[in-house]
Amino acid sequence: MAVQMPALPYAQDALEGFLSASTLSFHYGKHLKNYVDTTNKLIAGTADESKSLTDIIKTAKGPLFNNAAQVFNHQFYFESISPKSTSVPPEVLAIIEHSFGSLDEFLSKFKAAAAGNFGSGWTWLVKKGGTLSIVSTSNAGCPITDGFTPLLTVDVWEHAYYLDYQNRRADYLAKFCEHIDWAKVAERLV
């Protein structure tokens, strides 16, 4: 079955003040669409056509891994964002405090990791066992290949923020942290 273009969970202009409609138009409408289309071209007529997206990611190498993982990563990223500020559910706060000491400490470490993620990539909050950790991946890297359960991700490829923030990645990250969909993080925790 072909990989589907994921739905954007809000209007393209819903994040104005954080990300412009122009950024979302290119990022969602062009970049993600290209990853979906290329994945489908690569799996057409092969055994991978019948696999789930995550099964493809766990086994593929090279261009197929890169494109399939970018579909997963982008869907995960867009669904990590809320147009409005959300509160952190108690069960999420408890495991964050257990793992990082406090919510502020987590946010500070997450932003520092994402700011220091050299070049193009992703910074993630992940779970393994009963503990959370922060991992950064390069290019299309995806933590499910290392057995982690991802809870949150931020895209630090320049295409994610350059139209709105140019080289000011730290400003983009600060705004991102104000727009985390914490209810989605809670959903992913179970």
- Site for Fe ion, rule CB under 5 A: 155, 157, 160
Find the shortest distance in angstroms from Cβ 157 to Fe ion: 5
Find the shortest distance in angstroms from Cβ 155 to Fe ion: 4
- Which CB, 19 or 96, lies closer to Fe ion? 19
Residue 78 phi, psi dihedral angles, 5° rounding = -60, -35
Find the shortest distance in angstroms from Cβ 21 to Fe ion: 16
- Which CB, 8 or 160, lies closer to Fe ion? 160
Positive or negative torsion for Cα 44, 45, 46, 51:
positive
- Which CB, 128 or 159, lies closer to Fe ion? 159
C-alpha 180/C-alpha 80 separation (Å) is 6
- Which CB, 93 or 175, lies closer to Fe ion? 175
19: left (phi over 0), alpha (psi -120 to 50) or beta: beta
What letters, b where the CB count within 10 A reaches 16 and e where it falls short, cover 107-139?
A: bebbbebbeebeebbbbbbbbeeeebebbbbee
Find the shortest distance in angstroms from Cβ 91 to Fe ion: 29
Find the shortest distance in angstroms from Cβ 121 to Fe ion: 10
Cα angle at 97 between 10 and 105, to 5 degrees?
A: 75
- Which CB, 132 or 160, lies closer to Fe ion? 160
* Nearest residue to Fe ion, by Cβ distance, number only: 155
